[in-house]
Amino acid sequence: MMRDKTILLSHGSGGSLMHGLIKGLLIKKLGNPILEELADSASINYKDRLAFSTDSFVVSPLFFPGGDIGKLAVCGTVNDLVMSGSFPEYLSLSFIVEEGLQLKILKKVVDSIASEAKKARVKIVTGDFKVVERGAADRLFINTSGIGRILKGVRLSYKNIRPQDKVIITGNIGEHGLAVLTKRKELDLGFKINSDCASLNNMLIPLLKSVGGIKFMRDPTRGGLATTLNEIVMSTGLGLNIFEENIPVTEKVRSACELLGIDPLYIANEGKAVIVVEKGSARRVLSLLKKHPLGKRSAQIGTFTSAPRKRVILKTIIGT
Amino acid sequence: MMRDKTILLSHGSGGSLMHGLIKGLLIKKLGNPILEELADSASINYKDRLAFSTDSFVVSPLFFPGGDIGKLAVCGTVNDLVMSGSFPEYLSLSFIVEEGLQLKILKKVVDSIASEAKKARVKIVTGDFKVVERGAADRLFINTSGIGRILKGVRLSYKNIRPQDKVIITGNIGEHGLAVLTKRKELDLGFKINSDCASLNNMLIPLLKSVGGIKFMRDPTRGGLATTLNEIVMSTGLGLNIFEENIPVTEKVRSACELLGIDPLYIANEGKAVIVVEKGSARRVLSLLKKHPLGKRSAQIGTFTSAPRKRVILKTIIGT
């Protein structure tokens, strides 16, 4: 099957071409005993509280500095599960492929999925593969859904947030969105910005297990850090003071943003978490985060307040 | 928000327009306490063996006689879960929408999802909404993933199938594929064929609970009944005799197929199951199926054999 060089409509028709592709590519690279059953559903043993999450990935271009749609599809759902205080275990994987896509592109994406799933220690246990006519999709879309085991004793919810609680961001912001944008627009900045795209479970699960007082986590993806912080204050009804000078932004991201006239606070991240933690645990959380390669640039950036309600106040360096 | 008449790119950007759409449309119509949390993942209590399934829906046209992409997205994943011998409980729902889609189309699809989810008694507990640029997708794609609770004592697997086991189909074949095809090509057959699109759990779960000897189930979707039967014999390594005259096909489907030069055996179904059952239980299974509105035209269509291996033999009316 692998001799065919592009994806045909019949690769998605349920016939032998599709089965060749599934067995020759997907099972070979992603295989595990549950997936290999090729049943309509995966069968899983469970006796805990679960988190269940879904995300569709539509990034263009498919490949960008620091990642690709495959890596993103694993990280994105893994991180959503982690944000709910769960240990990510199983992913589903569903492709929508445009007829005519080169098979080598699909292979590269599947390699990337396999490699990131291994890194994040999640199993891909069920999947689906659809082909649509040329022009009916932009090359390749991926949906991953995921199941995680909620950690015992952990209940993350914005409802737990109180005045004086601290906000931590786990590193530099703005990198993913800029990496994709500069690649898409073929902008030459004179330097390269890599997406921060990463699975955060290996850093955050041990943290959740070892430190109390973590109340809420969310990954600032679409809409960036500003949108995430706004969502949190709207949900809690509290106020939030953010100290702009504490928000970690690299020089590269800062200059790219100036050049492009955009605000790094509104740019998507794919390997960062906003963590809300009670005052007394903030220092411990920060110090543990900084020991992990993905958290070296973690910073405390703000404090919840009882007033003004539902407002994020950005305290800038000149004090406004 | 609902005053906007078409979907804009900013409906998918994570900002207030997206939140308006999610709260004003999706939560309003699909809401339940788990979904309303709007967390990165849904939190679910579990202590059983689970089935986990995923499916992306890319049907064109979005609306066809007997159903639409929304109904299909619920039925499809519900049925995949049932085929694994599980009681479908929770669905995720992820949209990929083309910029410019009319909001009334999205609303109609969401209504249809809400209505079918209610009928199938499943809860939509987590979701995602992406908008892509005009031309980057064909109007609307939907992914649903699902979690079901595997019934105690039920272990459906092709590994259980033995010679002499009987094959039952739960009704008329070919209707879904023809309904979509005739609508897409705007063919006037002089009569209408409705898709069989239906959630099968209300018929099949009681059956699984009350009759022993059911060994395997699969829904003959893409590729139709022929492809499904072929997959089963390839997996088991057994042979299978199918009696063509026993396969239920309506006169309408038969004439449409003759007119179009296609074989009903290869046409997709969305509300049928192939059930493999041991000889001694076949009569009981058939009689129970026939009592259900979705199973009235159920029929026993074949028998597994020890030879020829990996072959489906179609016994036609003239005996070849």
Q: Which of A54, A49, A155 is nearest to B44 (CA)?
A: A49
Query: Do residues A54 and A79 both lie within one domain?
Result: yes
- The span from the CA of A87 to the CA of A207, in Å, is 12
Which whole number is the average pLDDT over B193-205?
Answer: 98
Q: What confidence tier does A2 reach under pLDDT thresholds 50, 70, 90?
A: very low
The torsion angle over the Cα atoms of residues A206, A210, A216 and A217, rounded to 10 degrees, is -20
Confidence at residue B317, expressed as pLDDT on a 0 to 100 scale: 66
Q: What is the mean pLDDT of chain A?
A: 92
Confidence at residue B1, expressed as pLDDT on a 0 to 100 scale: 42
Query: Do residues B217 and B290 both lie within one domain?
Result: yes
Q: Which residues contact B62 (CB under 8 A, 6 or more apart)?
A: B68, B69, B105, B109, B139, B140
What 3-state DSSP class applies to A315? strand
Higher-pLDDT residue of A272 and A47 is A272
- A209 in any annotated domain: yes
Out of A46, A86, A127, name the one closest to residue B54 (CB).
A127
Chain B, window 207-226: residues with a beta carbon less than 8 angstroms from a chain A beta carbon = 218-219, 221-224
Which whole number is the average pLDDT over A134-139?
Answer: 94
Query: Do residues B241 and B114 both lie within one domain?
Result: no
pLDDT, one tens digit per residue, over B27-45 is 888 888 888 877 778 888 8
Query: Do residues A180 and A248 both lie within one domain?
Result: yes
Lowest average pLDDT, out of B27-36, B121-130, B147-156, goes to B27-36
The torsion angle over the Cα atoms of residues B58, B63, B69 and B75, rounded to 10 degrees, is -130
Confidence at residue A1, expressed as pLDDT on a 0 to 100 scale: 42
Query: Do residues B170 and B307 both lie within one domain?
Result: yes
Q: Which of B172, B200, B175 is nearest to B76 (CA)?
A: B200
- B2 in any annotated domain: no
Which whole number is the average pLDDT over B248-274?
Answer: 96
- A36 reaches B (C-beta below 8 A): no
Helices B279-290 and B201-210 pack at an angle, to 10 degrees, of 140
Domain finish residue from B96, B119, B150: B150
Burial grade of B172 (CB within 10 A; 0-12, 13-18, 19 or more) = buried
Domain finish residue from B150, B184, B214: B150
- B221 in any annotated domain: yes
B2 pLDDT above the threshold of 50 = no
Confidence at residue A317, expressed as pLDDT on a 0 to 100 scale: 66
Query: Do residues A204 and A296 both lie within one domain?
Result: yes
Query: Do residues B146 and B164 both lie within one domain?
Result: no
Q: What is the CATH number of the domain that holds A179?
A: 3.90.650.10
H/E element, A125: strand A123-132
Query: Do residues A32 and A59 both lie within one domain?
Result: yes
Query: Do residues A254 and A111 both lie within one domain?
Result: no
Distance from CA of A113 to the nearest CA of B (A): 17
ipTM for the predicted complex: 0.93
Residue A210, domain extent: 158-315
What 3-state DSSP class applies to A196? coil
Confidence at residue B28, expressed as pLDDT on a 0 to 100 scale: 84
Contact A56 B94 (CB under 8 A): yes
Distance from CA of A271 to the nearest CA of B (A): 15
- The span from the CA of B134 to the CA of A299, in Å, is 39
Query: Do residues B132 and B202 both lie within one domain?
Result: no
Cα A271 to Cα A69, A110, A173, A201, B138, distances in angstroms: 14, 20, 9, 10, 30
Question: Phi and psi (nearest 5°) for B24?
Answer: -75, -30
Contact in structure between A104 and A112 (CB atoms under 8 Å): no
- A320 in any annotated domain: no
Higher-pLDDT residue of A180 and B308 is A180
- The span from the CA of B38 to the CA of B34, in Å, is 8
Chain A, window 42-61: residues with a beta carbon less than 8 angstroms from a chain B beta carbon = 42-56, 58, 60
* For residue B248, cis peptide bond before it (omega within 30 degrees of 0): no
pLDDT, one tens digit per residue, over A179-229 is 999 999 999 999 999 999 999 999 999 999 999 999 999 999 999 999 999
- B61 in any annotated domain: yes
B315 pLDDT above the threshold of 90 = no
Which whole number is the average pLDDT over B288-312?
Answer: 95
Contact in structure between B218 and A39 (CB atoms under 8 Å): no
Half-sphere exposure of B94 (CA within 13 A, CB side): 31
Query: Do residues B236 and B267 both lie within one domain?
Result: yes
- The span from the CA of B112 to the CA of B122, in Å, is 14
Mutate to test the interface with B, among A38, A143, A215, A227 (most CBs of B within 10 A): A143
- The span from the CA of B53 to the CA of B48, in Å, is 16
Distance from CA of B304 to the nearest CA of A (A): 20
Percent of chain B whose predicted confidence (pLDDT) is above 70:
98
Q: What is the mean pLDDT of chain B?
A: 92
Q: What confidence tier does B4 reach under pLDDT thresholds 50, 70, 90?
A: low
Contact in structure between B267 and B174 (CB atoms under 8 Å): yes
How many beta-carbon pairs below 8 A join chains A and B?
207
pTM above 0.90, yes or no: yes
- A78 reaches B (C-beta below 8 A): no
- The span from the CA of A275 to the CA of A271, in Å, is 13
A5 pLDDT above the threshold of 60 = yes
Higher-pLDDT residue of A319 and A216 is A216
- Which residues on adjacent β-strands are paired with residue B302? B167, B242
Q: What confidence tier does A315 reach under pLDDT thresholds 50, 70, 90?
A: confident
What 3-state DSSP class applies to A13? coil
Q: What confidence tier does B249 reach under pLDDT thresholds 50, 70, 90?
A: very high
- B241 in any annotated domain: yes
Percent of chain A whose predicted confidence (pLDDT) is above 70:
98
- A141 reaches B (C-beta below 8 A): yes
Domain finish residue from B103, B125, B150: B150
Percent of chain A whose predicted confidence (pLDDT) is above 90:
79
Spell out the alpha helix ranges (H) of chain A. 16-21, 28-30, 33-36, 69-83, 103-120, 175-184, 201-210, 224-236, 251-260, 279-290
* For residue B206, cis peptide bond before it (omega within 30 degrees of 0): no
Lowest average pLDDT, out of A74-78, B13-17, B288-292, goes to B13-17
- B308 in any annotated domain: yes
Which whole number is the average pLDDT over B259-264?
Answer: 94
B222 pLDDT above the threshold of 60 = yes
Query: Do residues B77 and B213 both lie within one domain?
Result: no
Domain count, chain B: 2
- B172 in any annotated domain: yes
Contact B13 A53 (CB under 8 A): no
